[in-house]
Structure 1
Amino acid sequence: MRRDNTHYFIYPEYFDKALKRSEGRRLSIEDSLDNPSILEIRLAAEKLGLNYEIRESGSYPRQWWNPKGLILVEKKESKLKTMRTLSFEIDKNIKPALEKKRKEVKEAKKKRSSKPKIKISKKKNQSEFRPKRRR
């Protein structure tokens, strides 16, 4: 996709609940998300059937030092309505699914790394186990 008038530029900062409106948030606090990512926005766009292109190296102009990427979404509705729909989809479906997946991975790693604990009992007379000295 090229940069033209048929796509919206959507940055994760538009959805970030931690930012003020003057810092780049575009949605109300109720519609905003905690620490949104390009991955979540991409999954929501896929689920909603939107045509999109991801630019991972892009950064929001107000936060040029913090490149989180951006997503180009094809214009079908107004930008605000598209962002609200994406936010709702992320909040209700994408975040819970990702959290569930992270928990499963964490539990699998925990199971793999847990080793059986072997207790070594010490006997009172350990001289039996020592090699005899040669003189």
Structure 2
Amino acid sequence: MVFFLKNRIHEELKFMHPLDVLSRMTRDSTKMKIWTRYFDSKLSRSEGRRVPKEASIPNPSLEGIVWASRDAGISKMKREENVSHPSRPYSKEGMLILQTKDALQATRAESKEGVLQSIGLRLRKNFNESKSDQKQNNNNKNTGSRQKLSQRKSFKNKSKSSNRRSKFGR
């Protein structure tokens, strides 16, 4: 029975116009696929970035996109890690699958581009906040008493010629 159905569909497609064949093989409109490369600021639009530079970050992670989606109010999502985009089979980047209806309602957008932009803006905000937190933590680590700082010795500034002499015993 299955073979008969497959054969019948194949026969129908054989005599159809190519544009009609494409319209017949439509994707699932209830789901929205979001790839990590859509938010990579290192890429140009022709290389796969789909949001403006203000809504993108360098090397986005799938986890970061999930957090940004939750911040946007999207609750129904499925995460697929180590999946490659069809046009980039060499890179395992990961994909987030959202329910289209939930994503459009939560972000109050009218299209996938609007959803991507709202997720991207939250992703950028989270990235900037974590970056400023890291700067503050690094500044706090350098504080200490002057005595400890002055007694700290650095061997990084030794010249290479002195290393060579001691190495060969001259």
Q: Of the candidates 63, 72, 80, which is equivalent to residue 113 of structure 2? A: 80
Per the alignment, do residues 105 and 69 of structure 1 end up closer, same or farther by CA in structure 2, a change over 3 Å counting? farther
Instruction: Quote the offset at 1:49 in angstroms.
Output: 2.2
More helix by percentage:
2
Query: 2:79 corresponds to which residue?
Result: 54
* Structure 1 outlier segments of 4+, above 6 Å: 100-107
Instruction: Quote the offset at 1:91 in angstroms.
Output: 1.0
Matched, 1:43 2:76: no
Match runs of 1:103-118 below 5 Å: none
Identity %: 30
CA contact (8 A) 2:64 2:123 kept: yes
Q: State the AA in 2 paired with 1:15.
A: F
CA contact (8 A) 1:58 1:69 kept: yes
Q: Of the candidates 48, 52, 59, which is equivalent to residue 24 of structure 1? A: 48
CA contact (8 A) 1:17 1:29 kept: yes
Instruction: Quote the offset at 1:103 in angstroms.
Output: 7.1
Matched, 1:95 2:95: no
* TM-score, normalising length: structure 1: 0.65
- What RMSD over aligned residues (CA atoms) do the two structures have, in Å? 2.9
* Distance of 1:37 and 1:4 partners within structure 2: 25
Q: State the AA in 2 paired with 1:88.
A: L
The count of corresponding residues between Structure 1 and Structure 2 is 111
Higher relative contact order (CA 8 A, sep 6+): 1
Where in structure 1 are there 5+ consecutive unaligned residues? 108-135
Q: Of the candidates 58, 69, 77, which is equivalent to residue 94 of structure 2? A: 69
Give the secondary structure class of the aligned counterpart of 2:64: helix
* Distance of 2:59 and 2:92 partners within structure 1: 14
Per the alignment, do residues 98 and 64 of structure 1 end up closer, same or farther by CA in structure 2, a change over 3 Å counting? farther
* TM-score, normalising length: structure 2: 0.53
Deviation string, structure 1 residues 90-132 (Cα, Å, up to 9, x no partner): 111x22454467679989xxxxxxxxxxxxxxxxxxxxxxxxx
